[in-house]
Structure 1
Amino acid sequence: MKNGSFGRYLLLQFRQVLAVVLPVVFTSLFYGCNKALPLSIDMSHGAGFLLSLILENRPAASSCATQPVLTLGESATIVLGQSDYVSSSFGSASNRLNSPQGIAADSNGGIWVADGSNNRVLHFPSTIASGGNPDIILGGVSGTALNQFKVPGGIALDSSGGLWVADGTNHRVLHFPNGITTGGSANIVIGTTGVNGTTNALLNNPSGVTVDASGGLWVVDYANFRVLHFSAPLTSGMSADRVLGQPNFTTGAAGSPPTASNLGGPASVKVDSSGGVWVSDTGNSRVLHYSTPFTNGMNANIVVGSTNFTSTLNGINTGNALWAPSGVSLDSKGGMWVTDGQFRRVTHYSPPFSNGMNADNVLGEPDYVSFNPNLTASASTTVNPFDVTVAPCGQLWVTDYSLNRVLFYP
C-alpha cells in the first residue's frame, strides 16, 4: 500500500467494494480568467447566493469573458502530475503527484492540491501548463509539526484567502493564513495532533472541510462517521457545536444500513447558497443534503445517487446512480458536480434537486452507462476521480487519484 492512513485505506476499500452584500463592482479583487475583470453582480439568486460566491472565492458568472459549455465525455486540456495523458506513475518531484486528494480553486484562478501520499499541499498559478511546477509547496515530510502533514486530504479556502487542510492521519485540521509561502506553518489547529477520539473537540481521520457564510468551519470526521460544525471565531483546540451523522458527540458508529440520519463513510462537504450543506457519503454511495436550521443527528432532506434514504444503487450504471462518490463542488448556477469514484466518472446535477434525480452531464465516460474496465489513462477518461472544484470562470479541476494526476476541463 502507498504511504497513507488506515482511514484513507478504508475509504478506497469502500470504492472497491461497492441582501447581505451590496452589488459593488470590484475591479481587482477577482481574476480567474488570467486577467483582472470587474465583478458585475447577478442578484437574481438573492444576496445569499452572492455571499456564497464571495466566500468560495468565485466571481459571479457575468464577471468572466466566456463561460465554458462542457459536453458529455469531454477531454481535458491540461494535465498536472504527468507529462502526458497516458502516463500514470507516481513521483515526488515538484511537478509530480502521488495519490492526489482534495483540490480547491482560488480567486486568482490558481489551485491548491493535497498531494496525499507525498504529505504535501501544492499551489499552482493560473498560468500553469501541462506538467508544470507549483509555485508554493507546504509540507513534504511526514510529521506532526505545524509545517508538516500526514496524508492531507480535503482542502478549502476562506473569505480572507486562508487555507484549511484536513490532515488525516494527524487527526487534525490546519489553517494557513493568506500569503503563506513555501515551508510556512499553520496558525490554527482544530483537533489534537496525533490523538483521535469521539468527543466534540477530537477528530478521527478528517477528510473534508469547507467554510460557511458566517466564517464557521464544517469538518468531515471520516472515521467517526460524522460531520462537525465549528462556529467563528475559530481557535485552536475549540469544540464543535453541531454534529450530523450521529445523534450526539460521543458516538461514532458506521451508518449501515443507510438511513436519512446516518453516514456510512463521509468524504466531502460543501455549503450552498441557502446555508444548507451537501455531504458525500462514500460508504453508502450517495450524496445527502441537509437544510437549515441544523440540529444534532438530523435527517437529510434530499438524497442524490439513490432513489431513497434506505437503499443504494451500487454497480447499477445509470444516470441516477452513484458508486462510492467522494468530492462535491457547486457551480455559479447552483448545480452540483460529484466525483463518482467507482464508476470512474464525474457527474453534474442541475437544480431543482430531488431524490434519485438523473445527472445531466458526465466527464470521464462518453455517456451515463459506459464503464472503463481497463483502467485506461487518456484525456477523456478518469480512473478514480477523488475531488473536483469549479474554477472562477466555470471550468473544472479534477484530481484523478489512481492515475496520480489533476485534469482541467475544458
Structure 2
Amino acid sequence: MPRFVNATDAGYVYVVNANKGNVEQFKLDNAPTSKTNPTVVASNLYNPWGVYVTSDAVYVSDSFNHQVKRYAHGASPTSGGVVVAGGNGVGPAQNKLIYPLGLFVDCSGNIYIADSGNNRVQRWAPGAKSGCTVAGNPNGQKGTGLNELSTPEDVRFDKQGNMFVSDTGNYRVLKFAPGSSTGVSVAGNGYQANGFNAPIGFYVDACDTVYLGAGQGVIKFPPGSNGTGIPLFGGPIGYSGGITIDTDGNFYVGLRGANTVQKFTLLSSSGV
C-alpha cells in the first residue's frame, strides 16, 4: 500500500510501501524495469508513513515505532538507519511522538513532523534529544480552533517560510505564517461544506496553490479560494494519499485502494 511519495530534482520518486515496511526508489524514465524493479533504500520499518528526501539522506516516519529515521544516501537499507526524532516511547512529552506521519526537512536540517497521535506539529533541530511544538497544543489535546489540530497527517513549507498542515480530523488545511501558532484555513472547512473527505497528503507549489489528496481525488485550491477547491483528478483514481509534483509539472499520486502510484498531467485525467 503506497503512502506518501516524494519526487526529487535528480529524477527519482520515493514511495513508502507500508505493506512491505520499506521505502522504494523509482527512476523517472521510460525503461519498463524502472516501474517494476525499484531500489529499496530503507527497510524493516513498522507501518512507515511519510518520506522526505534531501541531497544527502532519506527521512522516513517509522510510525508504529513512534520515531523518525534518517538513512544516508548509499547506506544499506537494512542498516536500521539513525533515529533522529522520537524513539522514547509514546506520550505528550516533548521528547516523544505518537504515530508520526508526514514530515518536512528544511535547509538547516530541522525536521517538522505531523505528530498525529499528539495532535500537533513538532520541530526537531539536528542532533536534538527533544522537539518543540510549532502548531497545535503542546500537551497533545485535540481541538477545532485555528490554534489547534486534530490528527494532522502532513506538513509542508513554501519558499516564504509559511507552514501548511493537513488538519485531517478537522477536514481542512491550515497555513501558519512564520512564527505564528495560529493558522488560517486555506483548503476546506469541513466535509459537508466542501464535498471532500478528510485531507491526507498534499503539495504546495511556488504560487502557494494547494493540491490536496482528499477521499476520492485531487483537489486544487488556488490562493484566495476561501476553502473552495477545483477537482482535478477524481472518481476513477480511487482513494488518494500522498501527492508530489516533479520539475516538469507531472503529478504522482499514491492510490491506496489500488496499491499503485500513478502519474498524471493537467492535460489528462487518466494516469500512466
Q: Quick one: which of 37, 55, 60 aligns to 1:165? A: 60
Structure 2: tracts of 5 or more residues without a match: 266-272
1:408 partner letter = K
TM alignment of 1:111-150, pairs within 5 A = 111-127=13-29, 129=32, 131-139=35-43, 148-150=44-46
* 2:2 equivalent among 94, 100, 105: 100
1: CA distance, partners of 2:3 / 2:92: 24
Higher alpha-carbon deviation: 197-206 or 184-193: 184-193
SS at match of 2:121: strand
Deviations 1:48-84 (A, max 9, x none): xxxxxxxxxxxxxxxxxxxxxxxxxxxxxxxxxxxxx
Deviation of 1:181 (Å): 4.6
Match runs of 1:217-366 below 5 Å: 217-231=111-125, 234-235=126-127, 238-246=129-137, 248=138, 251-255=139-143, 258-294=144-180, 298-306=181-189, 312=190, 314-316=191-193, 320-341=194-215, 344-351=216-223, 353-356=224-227, 358-365=228-235
> Whole-Å Cα distance in 1 between the matches of residues 93 and 159 of structure 2?
29
Supply the distance in 2 between the matched residues of 1:135 and 1:228 (Cα, whole angstroms).
Answer: 30
1:388 to 233, 236, 243: 243
Q: Distance in 2 between matches of 1:272 and 1:153?
A: 22
Greater share of strand:
2
- Using the alignment, how far apart are the partners of 2:182 and 2:258 within structure 1? 36
Offset of 1:301 from its aligned partner? 2.4
CA contact (8 A) 1:302 1:354 kept: no
Measure, in 2, the Cα distance between the counterparts of 1:286 and 1:135: 35
- SS of residue in 2 equivalent to 1:220: strand
Distance change in 2, residues 1:213/1:350 (3 Å): farther
- What residue in structure 2 maps to residue 14 of structure 1? none
SS at match of 2:19: helix
Alignment: residue pair count: 263
Tell me if the contact between 1:121 and 1:137 (Cα under 8 Å) persists in the aligned partners. Answer: yes
TM-score (norm 1): 0.60
* More relative contact order, 1 or 2 (CA 8 Å, 6+ apart): 1
Kept in 1, the 8 Å contact 2:100–2:115? The answer is: yes
Q: Distance in 2 between matches of 1:406 and 1:364?
A: 14
1:31-42 maps to which residues of 2 (within 5 A)?
none
Distance 1:187 1:137 in 2: 13
Match of 1:208 in 2: 102
Shift of 1:332: 3.7
| TM-score relative to the length of structure 2 | 0.89
CA contact (8 A) 1:338 1:388 kept: yes
1:347 corresponds to which letter in structure 2?
I
Q: Point out 4+ residue stretches in structure 1 off by more than 4 angstroms.
A: 128-131
Q: Distance in 2 between matches of 1:136 and 1:106?
A: 16
Q: Computing the radius of gyration over CA atoms, which structure comes out larger, 1 or 2?
A: 1
Q: CA-to-partner distance for each residue in 1:77-117, whole Å, 9 max, x for gaps?
A: xxxxxxxxxxxxxxxxxxxxxx2111111222211111112
Q: Kindly indicate whether the alpha-carbon contact (under 8 Å) linking 1:265 and 1:282 is maintained by their aligned counterparts in 2.
A: yes
Partners in 2 of 1:156 and 1:301 — Cα distance?
25
Q: CA deviation at 1:329?
A: 0.9
2:117 alignment partner, SS class: helix
User: Identity, % of aligned pairs?
Assistant: 27
Report the Cα offset of residue 385 of structure 1: 0.4
Unaligned runs of 5+ in 1: 1-98, 140-147, 307-311, 366-380
Q: Is the contact between residue 149 and residue 167 of structure 2 (CA under 8 Å) also seen in structure 1?
A: yes
Shift of 1:331: 2.3
Provide the secondary structure at the position in 1 that maps to 2:155.
strand
Question: In the aligned structure 1, how far is the partner of 2:166 from the partner of 2:8?
Answer: 22
